[in-house]
Structure 1
Amino acid sequence: MYSQTTRDIVVTVKPFFLDDQSSPADNHYVWAYRVRIENRGSRTVQLINRHWIITDGIGRVQEVKGPGVVGEQPVLRPGDGYEYTSGTPLPTPSGIMHGTYEMKDEGGESFDIVIPAFSLDSPHDHPSVN
């Protein structure tokens, strides 16, 4: 698992390879990732937007921006947590993802929290030592 804390908001990500949805012969590899967001602060916050940066195994970058996550803009009171699962396909057997969530606190202040970089690894990758 990968974890990052920004302004008392903890984001934890656990990626996993979906072999049954992948087709290595067609250069199609699919991962799911479970995200948990915990508000360890003293103010209520709402997740407004997401910004993902997805890099495949040969360095091609794709950015994904939009409102909320999985169709929701969850409100997290102090002590609350929120979990969701999403996924991404890649044309390579490995990659990396990271990004930010735009949050808004109860006073109307917007701020970004870090989504930790996490590795997308498949059993079809053949890593080399440099």
Structure 2
Amino acid sequence: MSLERIGRTDVVTVGVDSPVDEVVETMRSHNVGCVVVVDGGRPRGIVTDRDLVLYAMDGSEALTARNVMAEDLFTVDIGDDVFDVVNELCERGVRRAPVLERGDLVGIVTLDDFVRLLATELDRLADVIEAESPRL
């Protein structure tokens, strides 16, 4: 199964030079736990709510998304296999990955998305088992 059925297309982005207070307001107003940082329309990093907490605790003078973002951005391709992506997310210890199609940002997937998919599939299996089980 590919990511086309799972990834969300409503990706919230900010520019690399966006001030940190703008990043915070964007995350608050969209009620999201992360934003993808873009430069020229291309993803360059990601800022999570955790990154912002660490930034605030550090007391550093980081003023833009570029200074706060995680730069070792792990991205996936829209055609990638779901199980391969889950394995890679777990190995890297990250919960989110921007989804690209021919280098363009088209969505984002999270471990939460995979848990919801698993729950849906387990419900379907339970329905089949229940329908096929003999009545007592």
TM norm structure 2:
0.25
| Largest Rg, 1 or 2 | 2
More strand by proportion, 1 or 2?
A: 1
More helix by proportion, 1 or 2?
A: 2
